[in-house]
Amino acid sequence: MAFKKELGDVSSEPNVVPMADVMLVLLIIFMVVTPMLQKGVSVEMAPAVNARAMSDADKDDAVVVAVSRDGKIFLSKDQVALSELSQNVREMITDRLDKTVYIKSDGRAKYEQVVKAVNEVRSAGVDKLGLITEKVRPEDRARMMMTP
């Protein structure tokens, strides 16, 4: 007697369980990797409507000074004292052709701390100083003006 395998009913519905598993794994990977891609210290930058794009600030070798909300100053990812900032910036830009330094500040940082950081950076002999802000769409301008 020959053995004949009987097939079950054919289902025309796609099996989405493997696809959902793959999507969850990808989501977890992106959630873990994304914070690692950010260069420097994270601050909530002040919004600006008329901001200009500064693509050079995103380069790996860009010199970025960050001022946090509580007044701490960071050069790249390392916290530095205000008295050491000028010397550290001078060392970083000594052998460069492009002596541009970018400053990003928390929107709620004390203005006095930001001015002190700018003065220290300028005393290091930089050619250009860029202030990094968060670009806001013009239609969001009214909402931005109303928030305290």
Backbone angles phi, psi at 88, to 5 degrees: -65, -40
Does the pLDDT at position 23 exceed 80?
A: yes
Q: Hunting for tokens 């990094």 — which residue is that?
A: 132
The Cβ-side half-sphere exposure at 59, using a 13 Å CA radius, reads 11
Does the pLDDT at position 148 exceed 60?
A: no
CB of 67 closer than 8 Å to CB of 106? yes
- Note the pLDDT of residue 121: 92
In a domain, 129, yes or no: yes
- Note the pLDDT of residue 19: 86
The total domain count for the chain is: 1
d(CA 13, CA 29): 29
Higher per-residue confidence, 20 vs 34: 20
**Average pLDDT of span 88-98:** 89
In a domain, 19, yes or no: no
Does the pLDDT at position 62 exceed 70?
A: yes
| 3-state secondary structure string across 111-123 | HHHHHHHHHHHHH
In a domain, 70, yes or no: yes
Looking at residue 87, which CATH number applies to its domain?
3.30.420.270
**Residues near 57 by beta carbon (within 8 Å), at least 6 away in sequence:** 64, 102, 130, 132
- To the nearest whole number, what is the mean pLDDT of the chain? 83
- Note the pLDDT of residue 37: 67
CB of 85 closer than 8 Å to CB of 75? yes
Does the pLDDT at position 46 exceed 90?
A: no
In a domain, 104, yes or no: yes
Q: Which of 75, 73, 106, 72 is nearest to 93 (CA)?
A: 75
Higher per-residue confidence, 45 vs 118: 118
In a domain, 2, yes or no: no
For the record, the structure tokens of 23 come out as 């999507």
In a domain, 134, yes or no: yes
In a domain, 27, yes or no: no
Does the pLDDT at position 42 exceed 60?
A: yes
In a domain, 136, yes or no: yes
Does the pLDDT at position 66 exceed 80?
A: yes
Where in the sequence is the domain holding 59, given as residue range(s)? 47-140
Q: What is the CA radius of gyration of the chain?
A: 25
Does the pLDDT at position 50 exceed 90?
A: no
Torsion sign, CA atoms 122, 124, 130, 131:
negative
